[in-house]
Amino acid sequence: MGTITRSFANNLTTSGILLPASLTNNSIANVTAYNASVATGNMVLISSQTASDSASISFTTGIDSTYKEYQFYFINVAPRTDDVTFHFNGSTDGGSNYNVTKTTTWFRARHYEDDTEATLSYDNGNDLAQSTSFQPIHTGSGNGADENGVGILQLFNPSSTTYVKHFISVNNYNHAADISINPFVAGYFNTTSAINAVQFKMASGNFDGTILMYGIK
């Protein structure tokens, strides 16, 4: 066995795994190329947008046939106006119009800060039946200094021209009446046209917060 081969073998466990001691600053620095086939992960960040007293956030590029699922993450979404609805809609024309027909469901768990009420209920005031209106995500969002909302929206196979496009959203936010609300939203864009843009905004007023868009391999 040659010296180089023996040295390499001494850094392997009996199951063929590199020992931690074999990975040093010098050994890493000497790597000049990486195998292009090495996986980079199943979630790919496509776009990140931050609202700062903004009217809306729109994703008009990057939603195409590259991925079968897209995920939007809401980070610290906070309205500038008290007691308003955070909602979204899709577009089939690259964002010129956000008016796709939808049928949806909406239910929530909620718990008051003073512990006077804790309930789980369906809310038919926030669902849609063949409507082109924006779909509510957070309703009655508070604009206090310590109030905001977080969550995720999953959009499935938006580029399909055969099927409707389903979506699911799970969130948590501070209601203006000091309530922790955990809404569950689901439904479908009832169109066989590709959904190629999505917009988020408050029903009135501006908002702050960050929305990330990922493609799922």
CA distance 191 to 71: 20
Distances (CA, A) of 204 to 21, 86, 148, 193: 58, 9, 16, 29
pLDDT in tens, the chain (217 residues): 555 455 556 666 665 565 666 656 555 556 555 455 544 679 999 999 999 999 999 999 999 999 999 999 999 999 999 999 999 999 999 999 999 999 999 999 999 999 999 999 999 999 999 999 999 999 999 999 999 999 999 999 999 999 999 999 999 999 999 999 999 999 999 999 999 999 999 999 999 999 999 999 9
Question: What CATH number should be reported for the domain holding residue 87?
Answer: 2.60.120
Domain-located, residue 30: no
Domain-located, residue 34: no
Is the Cβ–Cβ distance between 57 and 75 less than 8 Å? no
Phi-psi region of 62 (alpha: psi -120 to 50; beta: other; left: phi over 0): left
Domain-located, residue 78: yes
Helices of type H across the chain: 3-9, 25-29
What domain range is 169 assigned to? 43-216
Domain-located, residue 10: no
Phi, psi of 139 (to 5 degrees): -120, 140
CA distance 143 to 123: 22
pTM here is 0.82
Is the Cβ–Cβ distance between 198 and 60 less than 8 Å? no
Total structural domains within the chain = 1
Per-residue confidence (pLDDT) for residue 211, from 0 to 100: 98
Terminus-to-terminus CA distance in the chain, angstroms?
Answer: 43
Domain-located, residue 8: no
Domain-located, residue 29: no
Domain-located, residue 197: yes
Per-residue confidence (pLDDT) for residue 132, from 0 to 100: 98
Domain-located, residue 28: no
